[in-house]
Amino acid sequence: MAKKRQLDAKRIVVKVGTSTLIHPNGKVNFHAIDQLCYVLTGLVNDGKQVVLVSSGAIGVGMGQVGLHERPESIPAQQALAAIGQSGLMSVYQQRFSLYGQRIGQILLTHDVLEYPLSRQNALNTFNSLLEWGVIPIVNENDTVAVDEMDHHTKFGDNDQLSAIVSSIVDADLLVMLSDIDGFFDKNPHKYADAKLFERITKIDETTLEAAGGKGSKFGTGGMMTKLKAAKRMLENDKMMILANGQDPAIIFELIKGEPLGTLFVKEEK
């Protein structure tokens, strides 16, 4: 039996993907969102500072207008993001309020973080919210950040955004919830004997090869983007855990050091 991990994390960024928040039929997964809000409130009550990077705006927008497939048109995607972002925040506001937790919304574009003054202003906002015990909920401003939806990368996607936000706020730990149990030596969706790595200490050619090579897709979000996020965290001497977000209550277990998912860390913490 694997031993518990020693995690000393005061400031934590949690990233949730669309697969956690939206059912396969396109409906909002209210149970998962409720669990997520309950867990993150519990972390704040325990003295942690928490930032939530949340996908799902376009998915929520599709559900609200009755679309079953994501449109290819950029203007249509932007319109869905505008509809879905407000809808998603309404759900978060309602659920978090049940537990007495305050939230704030931060929508970012890459250029905001490229300029020192606006980057500092963003950091000041994060710090103020966290000091007040408020959970910032972050997403890319999809209504204007076209490159992210067209897959030519500004932030790249919310995996990259979560790592960048972690760097900005100097988070100790990034918890990335996905539709897969962690990082495997090969695709577990195809190979029954795929082995889960409990710990990864560096991102090298062997690691990239296990992810399927450059530009491959692995799971819903693509494993390569998650490795890039992990690489950024390791370069900053910070930690990242990749785990299955089907039940967001897993966050409690991860923070307690239970050996679930894959821990990316330079050395024993």
Q: Which residues belong to the annotated binding site?
A: 15, 55, 142, 158, 178-179, 220-226
Dig out the tokens for 39 from the structure.
């867990």
Q: What are phi and psi of 141, to 5 degrees?
A: -75, 80
Per the annotation, binding residues for ATP are 15, 178-179, 220-226
Residues in Cβ contact with 70 at an 8 Å cutoff, skipping those fewer than 6 apart? 58, 62, 77
Residues 29, 110, 83, 51, CA torsion sign: positive
Residues 123, 129, 133, 138, CA torsion sign: negative
Per the annotation, binding residues for substrate are 55, 142, 158
Give kind and range of the element (H or E) at residue 136. Answer: strand 135-140
Question: Exposed e or buried b for every residue in 221-238, given b needs 16+ CB within 10 A?
Answer: bbbbbbbbbbbbbbeeeb
